[in-house]
Amino acid sequence: MKIKFFISIALLVVLNSCIVNKIAYRQENIVYKNQVFDAVIVPGFPYFENSNNEILKMRILWANQLYLSGKTKHIVFTGSAVSTHYNEAMVMKKIAVELGIPDSVIYTEKKAEHSTENIYFAMQVCEKNNFTKVALATDIAQTSFLKNYIDNYFPYLARLPINYSRIDMRKDISYVNVEDCKVENFVSLKNRKTKEQISYASKGNNIDTTGYYIMNTRFAASLDK
């Protein structure tokens, strides 16, 4: 599969570069230092068989770290089966539970096919469960990609980029059996839609964000508590 998605995009350009990450960490360490969130949103990534799945792993490990350190009360994993037969959110939950996160604090959103949809549909989950203090917890590359979308539609969604010094990438997750996360009659996104349709949807153009300013108002108020 094109050398495992170009070795998972060259491991997100060498873990997003140490210098860029140090700048990104300031947002977590200073702006949100004393905040405890109701939930963090963790976007999915394709799960590949016979692979180390490094990008998927680092996002799960970061969610695990945030929960175990008391930074968040709940986790929302989001993502459907986009590039492989495996539903991304279900795979992430399965591995997270194996790492020790209680099943009861994990929520899954299984429809999103793009990063913008990860945010939109996961925010719906948060709204349904009255989570008002919410943060995006992913790598700095994806955080940066989503900046304009978040600023436009969910300006009070906090951002907690991965701090690689606080996760152990040597952790083995290959033993976790995720066969029950496979989707029947799977057809990859690229075989269901044209490049133009995929590009259009990736910018969030297929989703309706009207009404979410109400949630943003609630979220803004909760940050002051």
Residue 193 carries which side chain, given as an amino acid letter? Answer: K
Looking from the CA of 151 toward its CB, the CA atoms found within 13 Å total 6
- DSSP code for 73: S
Task: Give residue 13's region: left, alpha or beta (phi > 0; psi -120 to 50).
Answer: left
Domains of the chain: 2-223 (3.40.50.620)
- Strand 158-159 and strand 134-136: the pairing is parallel
pTM (2 decimals)?
A: 0.86
pLDDT at position 24 over 90: no
Q: How confident is the model at residue 214 (pLDDT cuts 50, 70, 90)?
A: low
Average pLDDT over residues 66-94: 97
Handedness of CA 62, 4, 79, 52 (dihedral sign): negative
Handedness of CA 103, 106, 109, 115 (dihedral sign): negative
- Between CA 110 and CA 88 the distance in angstroms is 8
Between 16-20, 31-35, 157-161, the lowest mean confidence (pLDDT) is in 16-20
Q: How confident is the model at residue 104 (pLDDT cuts 50, 70, 90)?
A: very high
Q: Which of 21, 79, 62, 53 is nearest to 176 (CA)?
A: 53
Map residue 72 onto helix, strand or coil. Answer: strand
- Between CA 78 and CA 66 the distance in angstroms is 17
